[in-house]
């Protein structure tokens, strides 16, 4: 059986008066947004506690992963790793902010995916001092955008000199 690592059997918790128990999920995921993607290696690890609440199951803990971002200033890729605190409610009859319980099983994947993507920075920047693709000539340090200060060094500058002015 190729059982999802995100499925947790919760029959020992549902409707019972028992303390939360730990659940550790380790999984290779392919979750991402436009500028950011969770890497397959190392795998994502979620260290959670899973416990009963009236009408359902409360899951909370930390999710840790490595993410590859594209810097929105210089467009280089860079990686970042860390952990985000997460918390989610699973209910047999899920309300608006809850995830469903399928029989006695909870599927942590949509919950952890939502929480992970929410934890991404919206506009990743490789470092605060990143100069990016600079557009002003006096800050023109590492750009390869074709602005005026680059023209003198390009082969097209020679061609331009050969052309009659005003043509």
Rounded-to-integer distance, Cα 52 and Cα 59, Å: 9
CB of 145 to Zn ion, least distance (A): 14
Interface positions, 7-46, toward Zn ion (CB under 5 A): none
Q: Which is nearer to Zn ion, 77 or 154 (CB)?
A: 77
CB of 135 to Zn ion, least distance (A): 15
Burial of 41 (0-12, 13-18, 19+ CB in 10 A): exposed
Q: Which is nearer to Zn ion, 112 or 126 (CB)?
A: 126
Rounded-to-integer distance, Cα 68 and Cα 120, Å: 10
Q: Which is nearer to Zn ion, 72 or 113 (CB)?
A: 72
Rounded-to-integer distance, Cα 38 and Cα 112, Å: 12
Count residues near Zn ion (CB under 5 A): 5
Kindly report the number of other CB atoms within 10 A of residue 112's CB atom: 25
Interface positions, 128-167, toward Zn ion (CB under 5 A): 130
For Zn ion, the binding residue among 108, 112, 126, 143 (CB under 5 A) is 126
CB of 136 to Zn ion, least distance (A): 17
On whether the CB atoms of residues 86 and 110 are closer than 8 A, the answer is no
CB of 141 to Zn ion, least distance (A): 12
Q: Which is nearer to Zn ion, 38 or 126 (CB)?
A: 126
CB of 73 to Zn ion, least distance (A): 4
Q: Which is nearer to Zn ion, 33 or 35 (CB)?
A: 35
Kindly report the number of other CB atoms within 10 A of residue 117's CB atom: 13
Interface positions, 37-96, toward Zn ion (CB under 5 A): 71, 73-74
On whether the CB atoms of residues 25 and 107 are closer than 8 A, the answer is no
- Bridging pattern class, strands 56-70 and 44-53: antiparallel
Residues making contact with Zn ion (CB under 5 A): 71, 73-74, 126, 130
């Amino acid at each position: 059986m190729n059982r999802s690592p995100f499925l947790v059997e919760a029959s020992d918790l549902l409707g019972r008066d028992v303390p939360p128990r730990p659940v550790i999920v380790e999984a290779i995921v392919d979750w991402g947004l436009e500028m950011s993607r969770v890497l397959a290696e190392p795998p994502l690890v979620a260290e959670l506690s899973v416990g009963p609440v009236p009408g359902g199951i409360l899951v909370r803990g930390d999710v840790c992963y490595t993410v590859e971002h594209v810097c929105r200033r210089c467009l280089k890729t860079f990686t970042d790793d860390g952990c985000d605190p997460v918390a989610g409610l699973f209910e047999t009859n899920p309300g608006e902010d809850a995830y469903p319980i399928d029989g006695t099983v909870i599927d942590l994947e949509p919950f952890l995916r939502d929480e992970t993507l929410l934890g991404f920075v919206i506009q990743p920047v490789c470092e605060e001092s990143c100069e990016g693709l600079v557009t002003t000539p006096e800050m023109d340090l590492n750009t390869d955008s074709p602005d005026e200060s680059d023209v003198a060094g390009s082969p097209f500058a020679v061609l331009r000199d050969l052309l009659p002015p005003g043509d």
